[in-house]
Amino acid sequence: MEYVRATTLEDLRTHLQRSGARIICGGTDLLVKMRHGMAAPDVLIDIGELEELAKVQVIDDEVHIGAATRESILLRTPQVGDHLPLLCQVLQSLGAEQIRNRGSLGGNLANASPAADSAIPLLLYDARLRLVDATQDRWVSIDEFLLGPGKTVLSSGEFIHTVAIPFQPPEWRAFYHKVGRRRALIISIASLGVLIDYQDGVVHEIRVAAGSVAPTAIRLRAVEELLAGRALSKGLIEEARLLASASVCPINDIRATETYRRTVVGNLLERFLMSLLDPMA
């Protein structure tokens, strides 16, 4: 297996066209896969020192994050904390310190686990990804980007350059919870994130995303439509809970059963909505 360090985008574009070439940045997913025989690249292209891909910039009410930016750096970057507080909340629960000091945002997305933590806030934010290869430069929505377990729209030779994320509206409330067997280093059993514009008992707009309950992280659009423009009530929350559970398609695996995951997703939504309806409870 060959190892090359790409310090420029040109290096990366060139090497990525080679047969059996794969990008390594933090390596926290790839090296584990390789250890288990689930990946066997011929060439590893290390982009860990490719500064061009590790920038964080604010451009027109969006935060633009280079794909090779480490998760721990994002947590220490004021522009991310100021404008994307939900992303920070989620990143705090990703892996552990040791993982966050190596893992990159682009890596978490390109690995495309159905449990990918960063996919939840990115779906809620309607983030876009800039994908680049030797000849093309295109933008796709995070929704379009994720296709299935371990599958994305990246074609061979193509890489994520930047993730563009619109600012989180400051008046909106955020919720995120991830269920797993321990506090850290968990691949989630189920997770739920919500962004909501809730004023005077009425849901003006709501966005709901769930993880580990479908082939990719997903928005629960039916639930969003159910709740949009309506006053919260116990009855409506119960409807939303049932619809959320019905909207997902989890599987049985070593971490949990389908039924458990389905139930948990509904319960997490109910818990959050009830906390809005009755904050004293």
Partner 1 sequence: MKIYFTLNGRNVDIDAVPTDRLIDVLRDQLQLKGVKEGCGEGECGACTVLLDGDPVNACLMLAGQVHGKDLLTVEGLTTDGALHPVQAAFAETGAVQCGFCTPGFIMSTVALLQRIPTPTDEQIIHALAGHVCRCTGYRKILDAVRRATELLAQEVPLN
Binding site for partner 1 (CB under 8 A): 1, 3, 5, 24, 26-28, 31-32, 35, 44, 46, 48, 72, 92, 95-99, 101-102, 183-185
How far is Cα 175 from Cα 225, in angstroms, rounded to an integer? 18
- Is the Cβ of residue 134 or residue 184 nearer to partner 1 in the bound state? 184
* Cα distance from N-terminal residue to C-terminal residue, the chain: 58
How far is Cα 185 from Cα 107, in angstroms, rounded to an integer? 16
Distance of closest approach, residue 258 Cβ to partner 1, in angstroms: 25
- Is the Cβ of residue 17 or residue 98 nearer to partner 1 in the bound state? 98
Distance of closest approach, residue 16 Cβ to partner 1, in angstroms: 17
Distance of closest approach, residue 118 Cβ to partner 1, in angstroms: 17
Distance of closest approach, residue 30 Cβ to partner 1, in angstroms: 9
With beta carbons less than 8 A apart as the criterion, state whether 199 and 193 touch. Answer: no
- Is the Cβ of residue 28 or residue 162 nearer to partner 1 in the bound state? 28
Q: What's the full length of the chain, in residues?
A: 281
Most distant pair of Cα atoms in the chain: their distance = 61
With beta carbons less than 8 A apart as the criterion, state whether 184 and 250 touch. Answer: no
Distance of closest approach, residue 97 Cβ to partner 1, in angstroms: 5
Residue from 209, 221, 191 nearest 121 by CA: 209
SS3 122: helix
- Is the Cβ of residue 35 or residue 78 nearer to partner 1 in the bound state? 35
- Is the Cβ of residue 86 or residue 94 nearer to partner 1 in the bound state? 94
